[in-house]
Amino acid sequence: MIHKLQSIKAKDYEGNLVFLYGDECAERNLPLTRKEVELIKARRERDKNFVQPFDRLPNRIYIVSFDSERDASVCQEHLRRSAMQLLGMLETDRVDELAVSGDGTLPEEVAAFVEGLTLADYSFDRYRSKEVYHLQSLIIDSVYFTPDELEASQHLWNRIFWCREWVNMPVQDLNAAAFADELASIAADMADVSCTVMDKKQIESLRMGGLLAVNRGSVDEPRFVVLEYKGSDEAPICLVGKGVMYDTGGLNIKPEDYMQEMKSDMAGAATMASVLFAAADNDLPVHLVALLPMTDNRPGYNAYAADDILTMYDGTTVEVVNTDAEGRLILADAIAYAAANYKPQLIVDAATLTGAAVRAISTFGIAAMQTGADNPLTMMKLVGEQVYERLVEFPMWSEYDELIKSDVADLRNCGTTPQAGTITAGKFLAHFAGKVPYVHLDIAGVAYFSKPQHYYRVGASGYGIRMLYAFLQMQDMINE
């Protein structure tokens, strides 16, 4: 979709037009006949949230009605969600170009609608033989965006697009080596981003026992990718992303119902790479390091097994209880590496880590935990509410430490009981952050949807990128 700015007078516009109608101010500017206005007003008395088309042959006007008096974040989220309903109408009407206006509508409301329409228009098409409908051009009334604001938003949406594309790709075409090469190629074209790709021999030299163990069952070698963007001289924020390119569960193989969609188990790595690239695209004044351990988890060759004892990068020994708890093993090495080598002000990880997170909060948000990072997580929760990528904080009480103690090693990679699985995973990872402030984001419920949800079609969502980007936008104020 191409976004363009243009001065638009809704009542005089000749072309397909969507008009955002949220209050009486906008009502006075509706590009409709008196009878049509009365119809819209009567419908709003029953429900303020709807999309209503009107013929203006050969074009159409689409009225997106919403309640501007609701809480701002809720109002803006409704506008994002209305985009999917509108997109279905646009496809039926075979609309290629659409203009957006809404005299009397706030700029942030227009921005939310445009964002929702852009996110809704994405679909994973590269393997389809038949052409799929997409809106080709979106013209936005220039009173709502400056060119620089639109460009910054486009950069963010583009990075979300590529995150979704990577997560949707099957492992046959995007294994650890291929993904690492793609990230290195992108970084090479960016003046302020450096990329280091470590192969198996280098990972062995680092003695990353978790990453190497998970990789033992695969014919494809692992990779450890480090991206750095130095937009400030502050100590870095380290972004760690789980990059399990495909997860069979290893020798604790998943049942059939849970094997589907496991190409998405690298969503954490795709998310963190995309956040760093978006920050660099828009010159955010932050120092970021993304650390991305990558491998698939297979039951072949000399696959690691339950009862194995691993020695991690920082020397911690880990008893393997379940080979399907592999994500925390590769993340642990990367977190320990970040803490030891970068002196970060904060470590944040993102991972499709536990089914327990989905059972706890379903597909409506991110399960979050922290140690020594109360203020950063509070800020993430605040901006998460604003962009509607919400976080629920789980406790990290000391009692949970007992559940990951091992009789034969320093830790075990699963809790001793099936309860509190999301928390024990977070507790395990926090050990490797040491004294560095640490936030854990379990995105298992939101990274990939098996059915359409709001402005996301089936597949990868990129959920969490907008929240983390908004959090990074606040860093210059926090550090002043």
Residue 301: per-residue pLDDT: 94
Residue 479: per-residue pLDDT: 57
Tell me whether residue 427 is in a domain. yes
| Mean model confidence pLDDT for the chain | 96
Tell me whether residue 415 is in a domain. yes
Residue 417: per-residue pLDDT: 86
Nearest alpha-carbon partner for 310 in 218, 194, 208, 239: 208
My answer on whether 170 and 121 are in the same domain is no
Strands, E, within 66-123: which ranges? 97-101
Please state, in angstroms and rounded to a whole number, the distance separating the CA atoms of residues 119 and 126. Answer: 17
Nearest alpha-carbon partner for 82 in 106, 54, 60, 49: 49
My answer on whether 183 and 105 are in the same domain is no
Ranges of the chain with pLDDT below 50: none
pLDDT tens-place string over residues 357-401 = 999 999 999 999 999 999 999 999 999 999 999 999 999 999 999
My answer on whether 175 and 291 are in the same domain is yes
My answer on whether 61 and 90 are in the same domain is yes
User: Strand, coil or helix: what is 323?
Assistant: coil
My answer on whether 91 and 240 are in the same domain is no
Q: At which of 141, 169, 185 does a domain end?
A: 141
Please state, in angstroms and rounded to a whole number, the distance separating the CA atoms of residues 303 and 306. Answer: 10
My answer on whether 237 and 176 are in the same domain is yes
Q: What is the CATH number of the domain that holds 175?
A: 3.40.630.10
Catalytic residue among 328, 381, 412, 427: 328
Domain count, the chain: 2
User: Strand, coil or helix: what is 137?
Assistant: strand
User: Strand, coil or helix: what is 388?
Assistant: coil
Tell me whether residue 150 is in a domain. no
Catalytic residue among 41, 56, 230, 254: 254
- Name the burial class of residue 68, with classes exposed (0-12), middle (13-18) and buried (19+) by CB atoms within 10 angstroms of its CB: buried
Tell me whether residue 364 is in a domain. yes
Tell me whether residue 148 is in a domain. no
Residue 164: per-residue pLDDT: 98
Q: What is the CATH number of the domain that holds 47?
A: 3.40.220.10
Please state, in angstroms and rounded to a whole number, the distance separating the CA atoms of residues 86 and 262. Answer: 31
Tell me whether residue 122 is in a domain. yes
Farthest CA pair distance, the chain: 79
Tokens 């194995």 belong to: 308
| Tokens standing for residue 36 | 């049509």
pLDDT tens-place string over residues 4-59 = 999 999 999 999 999 999 987 788 889 999 999 999 999 999 999 999 999 999 99
For residue 9, indicate whether it is catalytic: no
My answer on whether 135 and 226 are in the same domain is no
The per-residue DSSP string of 166-214 comes to: HHHS-TTT--HHHHHHHHHHHHHT-TTEEEEEE-HHHHHHHT-HHHHHH
Question: 53: domain range?
Answer: 2-141
Residue 24: per-residue pLDDT: 79
Q: Is 346 within 8 Å of 376 (Cβ atoms)?
A: yes
My answer on whether 172 and 129 are in the same domain is no
Q: Is 105 within 8 Å of 141 (Cβ atoms)?
A: no
Tell me whether residue 334 is in a domain. yes
My answer on whether 223 and 95 are in the same domain is no
Q: Is 183 within 8 Å of 273 (Cβ atoms)?
A: yes
Please state, in angstroms and rounded to a whole number, the distance separating the CA atoms of residues 382 and 467. Answer: 9
Residue 258: per-residue pLDDT: 84
Q: At which of 141, 174, 190 does a domain end?
A: 141
For residue 435, indicate whether it is catalytic: no
My answer on whether 282 and 355 are in the same domain is yes
My answer on whether 236 and 278 are in the same domain is yes
Q: At which of 141, 176, 206 does a domain end?
A: 141
- Dihedral, CA of residue 281, residue 283, residue 286 and residue 292, to nearest 10: 10
Tell me whether residue 175 is in a domain. yes
My answer on whether 82 and 180 are in the same domain is no
CA–CA–CA angle 410, 415, 420 (5° rounding)? 135
Quote the percentage of the chain above a pLDDT of 90.
94
| Tokens standing for residue 242 | 């789980």
Residue 28: per-residue pLDDT: 84
